[in-house]
Amino acid sequence: MKAALLPRASAAPGARLLIEDVPVPSPAPDQVLLKVHACGVCRTDLHIVERDLPPLRDPLTPGHQIVGEIAAGASPELPLGLRVGVSWMGGVDGSCPYCRRGDENLCDAPVFTGYTVNGGYAEYALARADFVHPLPEGLDDLHAAPLLCAGIIGFRSLRVAGVQRGERVGLFGFGASASVVIAVLQSWNCEVYVSTRGASHQRLAESLGAAWVGSEHEKPPVPLDRAVTFAPSGDVVVAALSSLRKGGIVAINAIHLDRIPQFDYDSLLWGERQLRSVANMTRADARDFLRLARDIGIHPKATVFPLDRCNDALAAIKADAIDGAAVVVP
Ligand SMILES: [Zn+2]
Ligand SMILES: [Zn+2]
C-alpha cells in the first residue's frame, strides 16, 4: 500500500513526508484494519512533522481524523464494510487513576493515532476496535473526516469552557475547528464573536453567521462569557482573557503554544476568571458530538488533497491558506 512516512532524520521545520510502498499491516486480535477513504489534516500533524512534539516513532505515518471501512478484523458489532471514524485518542489503558475516575482523555498510557501508532495518511490503517466510532449516514467521507478531531475536540473545548445556551462566546482564530464549533454554538443560540487573522477567515466567519468579526488584534465590543482559542499563540490566549467578564473561562484548544507572555493578574485573572487547557477527548465526547453533528447537519468546508500531496496540505495549514479543513484522500 501507499503510505506517507516521516523519517526521524528528516524532521525539522519544513520537514516533508515521503510517499512509500509498505506492506498492508495485519490487525492484532483487539484491532481492525481500515481501508482509508479520507483523513483530515490537523494542526497537530504539523506540530508532529516539525517536531514541536517529540518524536515517539520512526518512521511514522501521521493522520488522526480517519474515515474508513472495516476491511479485516470484523466482528458482529463492526462488520466488514462498516464505515467508521478514528480520532486522536486511539486507546487508553483503562486502569490508570485517570481512566478509573472517568477522565480517559488524561490517561497515563494513551495511544495517540498518527503519533504513538501509525495513522491515516495511507491506503490502510489499523485501529483499536474499541476506539472506532461508527459514522452516521448522511455525513459523507470528506465532511466526516474534519469532525473527528477538529470537531470532537472543538466540542470538548465548549464543554471545558462551560458554555451555556444563549451565552456570548468568543472564538480566537478561525480554522477548521472553529468553523465547526460555530455551528454547535448557533444550535445553542449563542452569540459568537470571532477574532482572527486573514481576510478570508474573517469573511468565512461572517458568512457562517458570527455576530461580530474582527482582526486578531481587535477586541470584541462586549465582555464575553466564554472564549476558546485555537491559534498556537500565547498572545492570543492573553487577548482572549482580556475579553472576558468576571467569572468567565478561556479554554485553550491547542496542543502546543509558543509561550505564555507575562500578564497582569489584577486586571486579567482576578474576578474568578479561569484559563483552562483542553487535552485530547473521551469516547463520550466523540459519541455526543457525532450525534449532534448528525442532528444539526454540520457539513464543514473541506479542501481535498491526494495522498501524494499531503505535504502541500500541511504547508497550507501552516500558512492559514485554507478556509475550513484540509482532507487527504488516498
Ligand atoms: Zn487533531
Ligand atoms: Zn489510563
CA distance 169 to 66: 29
Average pLDDT over residues 259-265: 95
pLDDT for position 12: 59
> Are residues 34 and 69 in contact, defined by beta-carbon separation less than 8 angstroms?
yes
Q: Is 194 helix (H, G, I), strand (E, B) or coil?
A: strand
* Cα(88) to centroid(ligand 2), Å: 15
Ligand 2 centroid – CA 93 distance (Å): 4
Distance 114 CA to ligand 1 centre (A): 10
Looking at mean pLDDT, say which of 7-16, 52-61, 71-80, 171-180 comes out highest. 71-80
Ligand 1 centroid vs 41 CA: distance in angstroms? 7
Between strands 168-172 and 83-86, the pairing is unpaired
Which of 11-15, 51-55, 220-224 has the least mean pLDDT? Answer: 11-15
Q: Each residue of 196-206: pLDDT tens digit?
A: 998 999 999 99
Work out the pLDDT band at 52, boundaries 50, 70, 90. Answer: confident
CA of 94 to the centre of ligand 2 (A): 5
Q: Separation of 116 CA from ligand 2 center, angstroms?
A: 15
State the distance from the centre of ligand 2 to the C-alpha of 211, rounded, in angstroms: 41
Q: Which residues contact 230 (CB under 8 A, 6 or more apart)?
A: 171, 172, 173, 174, 175, 177, 178, 253, 254
Asked if residue 13 has pLDDT above 70, the reply is: no
pLDDT of residue 15: 67
Which band of pLDDT confidence, cut at 50, 70 and 90, is reported for residue 240? Answer: very high
**pLDDT range class, residue 295, cuts 50, 70, 90:** very high
pLDDT of residue 175: 87
Q: What is the number of the ligand closest to the CA of 111?
A: 2
Which pLDDT tens digit goes with each residue over 174-184?
988 999 999 99
Distance CA 17, CA 121 (A): 10
Distance from Cα 152 to the centre of ligand 2, integer Å: 20
Which residues have CB less than 5 Å away from ligand 2 (the ion)?
92-93, 96, 99, 107
Per-residue pLDDT tens over the stretch 104-161 = 999 999 999 999 999 999 999 999 999 999 998 888 999 999 999 999 999 999 999 9
Ligand of minimum distance to the alpha carbon of 107? 2
Which ligand has an atom closest to residue 102 CA?
Answer: 2
